[in-house]
Amino acid sequence: MKQRGVTVWFTGLSGAGKTTISQAVAEALRSQGCSLEILDGDVVRQNLTKGLGFSKEDRDENIRRIGFVSHLLTRNGVIVLVSAISPYREIREEVRQRVGDFVEVYVNAPLEVCEGRDVKGLYRRARLGEIKGFTGIDDPYEPPLNPEVECRTDQEDLSQSVAKVLNTLSNLGYLSNQLVAIEN
């Protein structure tokens, strides 16, 4: 079965659950033989965009580069799962236009919940002034206005979030209905 390529873009604050949900979606898709790639913001910054800082210009360039790779993979029939804070609405929209087959997933959790999940200690360091320009603290996060999926990770469990993503991909014609039925 030839699959249709799509970029599934998980955006949200640090600690909202982007990586967790994208990894669970990847597991479900791989179990059904789907061809996919995961582009995680932290991993991309260590490799593809090493050397970029956290100014607005550098963040935008980071997202453009991820978007470029996503576009190449998507047009070749790969499902691309991107997990990146991508705080600015305008650059996310630019990437959407470039990629075309694009599904935005807003991984939404209140700031206080994300701070409570802060396994890396980044929020604490930002609150102490050790990290400047930290998204949600002293740099803005612009939530999507019309995401295809919204996962409220403070109100739903992982399986519910995964089901929302898979059902949306199916409804938009990226997955067969059999795949979604198996996962639900």
Token pair 């550098």 in the structure block, residue: 58
Query: Distance between CA atoms of 117 and 52, rounded to whole angstroms?
Result: 26
What does DSSP assign to residue 144?
A: -
Out of 14, 22, 70, 86, the active site residue is 86
Instruction: Look up residue 158 and give its amino acid.
Output: L
In this structure, the dihedral spanned by the alpha carbons of residues 104, 21, 168 and 28, taken in order and rounded to 10 degrees, is: 140
Is residue 83 part of the annotated active site? The answer reads no
150: left (phi over 0), alpha (psi -120 to 50) or beta: beta
What sign does the CA torsion over 30, 34, 35, 40 have? negative
Q: Give me the active site residues, please.
A: 86
